[in-house]
Amino acid sequence: MSIKSTLLVLAAGIGSRYGGLKQMDQVGPSGETIIDYSIYDAVQAGFGKVVFVIRRDIENDFKKIFIDKLKDRIEVDYVFQEVDMVPKGVSFSSGRNKPWGTGHAVLVTEQKINGPFAVINADDFYGGGSYRVMADFLTGSSDDAEYSMVGYRLDRTLSDHGYVTRGVCEAGHDSYLRIVNERTRIEKEQGKIIFTDNDGSITRLTGNETVSMNFWGFKKSVFDHLNKYFTQFVEENPDDPKAEFFIPLMITDLIEKDKVKVKILKTDESWFGFTYREDKPVVIENIKELVKKGVYPPRLWG
C-alpha cells in the first residue's frame, strides 16, 4: 500500500509586521482560521497526514483550536521548533534565542515524516487547486531527486497595505526551476509594481513573474540535504543571533550543482494572507466570496 502524502504546516512564526498570532485569527463565517481552509483543501486533495511546527508557548491554545476537530478527519502530529534542535556536534552562541528559519523548521520534523510531503506557511491561503496539483505530483513522481513548488503570478500575491517579500523564480523551457531570487521589498505604487533593492535602486515588474509562496513538494531525501546544509550554515554563522536558514537558498545551490530538480507546478489560484493587520478584512471578504460561490461550506467541519 502506498504511503499517503503529508502536509507540513509551518506555524511557529510570530509575524512581526502583522503583530500577534495570525495563525489563529478567525476569518471564516463559522470562526475558521486560514489553517482550517488549508487542511480542508489538503484532505480533499488526498493528503493523509498533517504535521504542525509550532512554538512550545502556544501549544495549549493550538491544541484547543485544531487537534480535537481534526482527529477524525486526518492524522495529526506536531513538533516544537526550538533553537537548540541542531545536528549532533554543532555549536552556536549562547546569545541565540530564536530558531533558525524555514529550513530549520522543516528539518526538525524529520522523525515525523515517512514519505513525500508538502510544506506550507500557516498564514497563507493557497487555494484548493494548488493542493490538487501538489498531491498529483507527490503521488506521481518516483524520482527521489525531483522536488516541486507551486508557482503563483506575482500580481496575485500582493498586499494593498505595504511591501512584501517574494521569491521571484527563473525557469527553463522545461518548467523546471533554475533559481529563486529573494526580493525583500515589492509593492504597488500608483498602479505599478516595483521592487526596491538594498541600494535604493528601483526596478519595475510586470506582475506576470512567477513567484514562490513557500509551497514546496519534497521527498524524504531532502532531510539529508537539510542536515548537511544546516550544519554548514550554523558553522558559518555561530555568533549571528539573527541569521536564518531559508529553504530557497539551499534549493538554488542544489539545482546549480545538479543534485536535484524542482518542477514548477502552475496554478490559477490567487494567494492571499496576512502580512499586515489591515489585510484581515480582505481575507475575510475573500473567504466570504468563496463560500458564496460554493467552493467551501459555511461551516467547514460540519
What is residue 16's predicted lDDT score, i.e. its pLDDT? 40
What is residue 22's predicted lDDT score, i.e. its pLDDT? 56
**107-125 pLDDT tens trace:** 999 999 999 999 999 989 9
Residue 155 is assigned to a structural domain of this protein: yes
Residue 100 is assigned to a structural domain of this protein: yes
* CATH assignment at residue 250: 3.90.550.10
Total number of domains constituting the chain: 1
What is residue 131's predicted lDDT score, i.e. its pLDDT? 98
**287-302 pLDDT tens trace:** 999 999 999 999 998 7
Nearest residue to 256 via CA among 150, 180, 149:
180
Question: What long-range pairs does 174-181 form, CB within 8 A, spacing at least 24?
Answer: 175/263, 175/264, 175/266, 176/261, 176/262, 176/263, 176/264, 177/149, 177/251, 177/255, 177/261, 177/262, 177/263, 177/264, 178/255, 179/252, 179/255, 179/256, 180/212, 180/248, 180/251, 180/252
Residue 302 is assigned to a structural domain of this protein: no
Please state the rounded mean pLDDT for residues 91-105.
81
Residue 287 is assigned to a structural domain of this protein: yes
pTM listed for this prediction? 0.91
Question: Domain span at residue 202?
Answer: 6-292
Residue 298 is assigned to a structural domain of this protein: no
Please state the rounded mean pLDDT for residues 235-258.
88
